[in-house]
Amino acid sequence: MKITVLGTGIVGQTLAARLDALGHDVRLGTRDPAATLARAEPGPFGTPPVRDWAAAHPRVRLEPFAAAAAHGEVVLNALAGAATLAALDAAGADHLAGKILIDVSNPLDFSRGFPPSLTVCNTDSLGEQVQRRFPAARVVKALNTVNAQLMVDPGQLASGDHTMFVSGDDPEARRAVAGWLREWFGWRDVIELGDITTARGTEMYLALWVRMFGALGTPGFSVRVVR
């Protein structure tokens, strides 16, 4: 499958590497590929420079947002929440129309330090903002409740039976994403919460997530819905 991942941070790199290893035709989108590849410093979470990652994954092409989005049959938004809408504007509504857009981002605001607050909550969500901005895209919120490594390998924790959530207005798109989460990444327990407004719940969970991170000293945790 032709798959586009927008964002070159730790989430984008981790998702793209996994999808490439599965044999998909993957493009990685960034605002300015030349500038991104010219950076020699590590990423904010200690990830290697993108140029080192790109050298280790030669089949994954780094392209501007619009070209990358045009390539994908499915697009994953792995951008920071604050950058999401502008970057998707750059990707182009025509390149997203009719496609499943898996929104992995969270509306985290680090302007006052750690722990971050949320830029939107309670009566709206970033997932809803993306769907409103791009009504022809089939937006599905998923994977935003765990760290990057667990997104692609939930079996790192116990039996891997912890829970992933899916939100989106299009039931067919939700079901497709739920299936891909199982097929591509090994998620066993996937709950379809309902329409895109249910993304408010998974995004607001991040307020608890960051505090558990602080208490546990590791991002390697998840939740399981027992029923």
* Residue pair 125/197 in contact by the 8 Å Cβ criterion: yes
Rounded CA gap, 166 and 164, in Å?
Answer: 7
CATH annotation of 2-216: 3.40.50.720
Say yes or no to pLDDT of 170 above 80: yes
pLDDT at res. 47: 80
Looking at every residue in the chain, the average pLDDT score rounds to 96
* Residue pair 149/221 in contact by the 8 Å Cβ criterion: no
pLDDT at res. 161: 84
Q: What is the pLDDT of residues 74-85, one digit of tens each?
A: 999 999 999 999
Comparing CA positions, the residue from 108, 110, 113, 112 lying closest to residue 125 is: 108
Instruction: Please report, rounded to a whole number, the percentage of residues in the chain having pLDDT higher than 70.
Output: 99
Rounded CA gap, 39 and 88, in Å?
Answer: 23
Q: Where are the domains of the chain?
A: 2-216
Say yes or no to pLDDT of 45 above 80: no
User: How many Å separate Cα 5 from the centre of its chain?
Assistant: 8
Q: Confidence band (pLDDT; 50, 70, 90) for 68?
A: very high
